[in-house]
Chains A and B, each alone.
Chain A
Amino acid sequence: MAEEVLLFGVGRSPFSGRVEMALKLKGVEYKYVEEDLANKSPSLLKYNPIHKKIPVLVHNGNPIVESQVILEYIDETWPGYPLLPKDPYERAIARFWAKFIDDKCLPAIFKAFYGEEKEREQAVEELSEFLNYLENELKEKKFFGGESIGMVDIVANLIFWLEAWEEASGTELLTREKFPRLTNWTHEFVSNTIVKESLFPRDKLVAFLRNRIGGPNVSK
């Protein structure tokens, strides 16, 4: 049977971006289906009836949902480029940081940019604290995965979105002074050929976000 890989996603979503990155790193051929979240396709609702969200990976008719669950599936299903280390303890550490990014950093980013006025200052402080943990975890490594991009780096694609949010709202959080390692990491990450192919164009993203949150020139 010929293998069929479908990815339902939204271009400007970091979550479907992660799956694209992983598939490309593994050299897996797939068909991408762009969803309109205001008008979800019957296929999406069929494949993800519980959450009705993207991304959804459909492999030979089998749907897998939740971006980190999908990344683990991709790593186990297609050999070659490893997304996770081999050693169980190192895998646990990688999973810890991937969970940290989505459980802690993501809600803080949301509150910092979309939250109520009074929540935002605290959220920015919290986010700074969380970014500090990531800064320290990088140590002297080029990537969280070591010499090459791994699962934590892929999940940390949120930082690219954070920078776009910062530009859209005219705030400065991730500075070179405060976060030298993360700043280097972002540069290395974004320069990677495969990552470049999977990232939504920055200027389009900034424009979209500016519209949503109201940049310095747009009144809320």
Chain B
Amino acid sequence: MYPSKVSWLLRQNKALCFPTSLPVLEELCGGIHPGKIIEFCGPSAIGKSQLCFHLMRDCLTAGKKCVIVSSTRLLVSETQKLTPKENLSVFYVHSVFELLATLQAVDALQTSMVVIEGIQPLLQAVLGSANYRGQALLNDVKCCMGAVAVKSVVLCTNGIVSIGDGKHGPALGRAWEIVPSVRIMILSNSVGKRVMWRNRERVAELSIGDDGVRVSWGDTNH
């Protein structure tokens, strides 16, 4: 690859950027713009996919292109809200190899946002076995996601595992920890509210209603 001028890269990034309707989330993540891989992890049915869909809606209403790569069937109630449809592409993948092929295909498109939904079952099928094939595939996925992230912002959703003492941590292990540039963990506290953590420090609150998702700064005592 030839070295490109930073000004050219900045102009490209600006062309693919879009304003979101969640300023608190942007501040929590340190900006949602091309070059970032943002991971949302949390238990099931806590709102990770809803958050991704909300951001996809913002991207599409700004007129930019968007791609979603999913391992589970997407609910119609979510995809109906995503208009215009010609800027949205949906891919279904069921194994790591399909994911790699799809990421390489997406690299050729000029998209602003790539959402990888449900990456945990795809990678858990190959990680952890005695031969190191799983680690090699994880490295491949990391490189492909990095290549895609040069031009678009990449969002992915992950699950959590318990790490003892009743605490929870992101799934997929240590090797996956270095892949995302920002990791947001969503847990529900004792009161039942959804709390978003970043680096176990900054705390925000997530609320989900009929019209969409709202993120606000929470109070520190929970």
| B partners with A | no
Which residues of B come within 8 Å of A, CB atoms? none
Q: Which residues of A contact B (CB under 8 A)?
A: none
